[in-house]
Structure 1
Amino acid sequence: MLSAMRSSRRQRQGEFPPAPEPLPVPVIDSHTHLDITVAEEGAPGGVDEFVALAATAGVDRLVQVGVDVESSRWGVEVAARHPAIVATVALHPNEAPRLGDLDEALRVIEGLAADERVRGIGETGMDTFRTGDEGRTAQETSFRAHIAIAKRHGKPLVIHDRDAHADVLRVLDEEGAPETVVLHCFSGDADFAAECVRRGYLLSFAGTVTFASAVALRDAARVTPIKQMLVETDAPYLTPMPYRGRPNASYLIPLTVRGLAEATGADLDELCAEISATGDRVFGPW
């Protein structure tokens, strides 16, 4: 899975964008892939470079997200070395159908989940865009197992949902959701957002909220209480406007936060403060 994500580099053109104006109140990047980001062309300084750049932009805490056994192990290791970073561990929903031994991979994830620097289980979930009918059973089995891991360890569940809104809610309802659920890179409309809000889930908005075509997503943001909002990069993907198509990194979060404030009419300082507090409540303390 990780190699497949890295191969999408061809879809992003150019160098990392210049740093935007810093935020007035520091916030969290609730979902980033530093292992992939540091491998991008133009990132010779590695993790240290991106942590420092993020801090100067007002992004002082980062959640490194696992998508397979390799990246989950890497995340635990880097979080142990960097006070600004915590990790999540999981098998991406598109990874599960590809594994020769899903049960063994899940046992590794369960073991990693016990680490103190692991603050969430994800990204897991459902994806009917890239996984066809032949892989759905393994994908759903993996999702259900991750829900159980999150509940056993008392850690937030971080969900990847692509073209699978109804299935995600169905499985969560059937299994019983963990106390804290984060919809990573929220991609639904206002009706789906309202369903998630009603269930008490948190909606994490990425750079997509700034895209001109994302009218439905901005509508969803407007029905989401700011106490149930997080913000993320999903770096190196989903770079906010005006740099869509170029590599993304945590220091670009201010563009997304300002876009979210504009879309919702929220005061920027208040929005930042609420996102920061929610990040600490969900993933902290750092």
Structure 2
Amino acid sequence: MSRNRNRDAPPPVPERLPAPAVDAHTHLDACGTGTPADVAALLDRASQAGVERVVTVADDLDAARWAADAATWDERVYAAVAIHPTRTASFGDTEKTEIERLVAGDRVVAVGETGLDYYWDYSPPGAQQEAFRWHIDLAKRVGKPLMIHDREAHEDILRILDEEGAPEQVVFHCFSGEADMARRCVDAGYVLSFAGTVTFRNATGLQDAAKLVPPEQYLVETDAPFLTPHPYRGRPNESYCAGYTVRALAELRGEPVAVVADSVRSNAERVFGLPSSPSVTPA
């Protein structure tokens, strides 16, 4: 029987990783986790797979408020707040004031997700670019990482970062470029976060990019409830599925799973300023 026969069923929780990892980008609010008990249950499932902490990310004001609150409910949850580029058609003082208030929270560890999305036409490019520039400035003012959404906008993203001056830490969420784009980002000191897309059979260019990124410049994320890794593509995603992506990334890079998981953890701690947890030395 095909493992994908029941497309509505969540994937099984994978075998626990040999070293603790971090889901660098998820949307807990979109995973049906409306209450503290829901969040704890989701994190318990993630912990079964060795995914010990998550960053839950906002895309509008309501989601930003929720993420900032949820990060206070469970010590395994941190938050990122911003206005998604597809929601910037009416970006103004109300949004700016509230995001500035929320980003000051101790458990809000990044400004994101912000950037450019030229796939959808919900917001014109000019409005997206103006909002992106504002979020870049905010990240620099508050000294927190910038978490970038880049969909079919590579050149404008890189150009605007260069024009504005990038913050100290820049994370390309769900990195979608090929090897040349990856090299340019790596040379600029940016961190590339790989989602379940890197496991897709048709993602050869992305897989080539994942192979060349230095160990100190990558993260793993789920972008849950979206982008569930192969072989469960199309099913509901959750943070525990980061375990599948860690293993796929290790195979692509020809490295032990424990090494990749430990790189993911240590990089997340450095980039987001998370408390350190013990590393695990592979046998």
Cα contact 1:237–1:248 (8 A) shared by 2: yes
Given the alignment of the two structures, is residue 202 of structure 1 paired with residue 191 of structure 2, yes or no? Answer: yes
**1:131 shift after superposition:** 2.6
Structure 1 position 205, deviation (Å): 0.2
Q: Distance in 1 between matches of 2:194 and 2:139?
A: 22
Q: Distance in 2 between matches of 1:162 and 1:258?
A: 25
Scaled by the length of structure 2, the TM-score of the pair is 0.92
Runs of 4+ in structure 1 deviating by more than 3 angstroms, as ranges, are none
Name the CA distance, whole Å, in 2 between partners of 1:272 and 1:210: 16
Q: Distance in 1 between matches of 2:113 and 2:162?
A: 18
| Greater helix share, structure number | 1
Deviates more, 1:143-152 or 1:101-110: 101-110
Moved more, 153-162 or 107-116: 107-116
Give the corresponding residue for 1:92. 84
Task: Please name the residue that 2:113 is paired with.
Answer: 123
Are 1:20 and 2:10 counterparts?
Answer: no
The structure 1 residue matched to 2:157, chosen from 154, 168, 174, is: 168
Deviations 1:198-237 (A, max 9, x none): 0000000000111000000000011111110100000000
Q: Structure 1 residues 268-277 or 54-63, which shifts more?
A: 268-277
Distance change (3 Å), C-alpha of 1:67 and 1:23: same
- 1:31 aligned partner, one-letter code: H
Provide closer, same or farther for how the CA distance between residues 13 and 45 of structure 1 changes in structure 2, counting only shifts above 3 A.
Answer: farther
Per-residue deviation, 1:275: 1.1
- CA–CA separation in structure 2 for the residues paired with 1:15 and 1:139: 36
Q: What is the alpha-carbon distance in structure 1 between the residues aligned to residue 14 and residue 48 of structure 2?
A: 10
1:29 — aligned with what?
Answer: 23
Instruction: Judge conservation of contact 1:51–1:84 (CA < 8 Å) in 2.
Output: yes
Q: SS where residue 54 of structure 1 aligns? A: helix
State the Cα distance separating 1:39 from its structure 2 match. Answer: 5.6
Asked whether the 8 Å contact 2:36–2:74 carries over to 1, the reply is: no
Is this contact kept in 1: 2:110–2:272, CA < 8 A?
Answer: yes
Residues 115, 148 of structure 2: 8 Å contact kept: yes
- Superposed, 1:126-145 pairs within 5 Å as 126-131=116-121, 135-145=124-134
C-alpha root-mean-square deviation of aligned residues, in Å?
1.7
Structure 1 residue aligned with 2:75: 83
Aligned pair 1:226/2:218, yes or no?
A: no
| 1:271-286 alignment, distance < 5 Å | 271-286=260-275
Q: What residue in structure 2 maps to residue 147 of structure 1?
A: 136
Letter in 2 for 1:117: R
Deviations 1:90-116 (A, max 9, x none): 00000101x2x5232122101111111
Which residue, 159, 183, 187 being the options, matches 2:176?
187
Q: For 2:60 and 2:43, locate their aligned partners in 1 and report how far apart those are by CA, in whole Å.
A: 23
Tell me the distance in 2 between the aligned counterparts of 1:21 and 1:13.
Answer: 21
Partner secondary structure for residue 229 of structure 2: coil
Task: Name the % identity.
Answer: 49
Q: Do structure 1's residue 114 and structure 2's residue 108 form an aligned pair?
A: no
CA contact (8 A) 1:38 1:44 kept: no
Give the paired residue count. 270
Ranges in structure 2 where 5+ consecutive residues have no aligned partner: 1-5, 276-283
1:242/1:44 CA distance change after superposition, 3 Å? farther
Aligned 8 A contact 1:158 1:181 in 2: yes
Q: Deviations over 1:28-79 (max 9, x none)?
A: 0000000001269xx9962111110001110001001011110011011010
- Whether 1:53 and 2:45 are equivalent positions in the alignment is yes
Task: Indicate conservation of the 8 Å contact 2:36/2:73, yes or no.
Answer: no
- Letter of the structure 1 residue corresponding to residue 71 of structure 2: A
TM-superposed CA distance for 1:285, in Å, is: 2.4
Give the Cα–Cα distance (whole angstroms) in 2 for the partners of residues 39 and 77 of structure 1. Answer: 12
Question: What's the TM-score, normalizing by structure 1?
Answer: 0.91
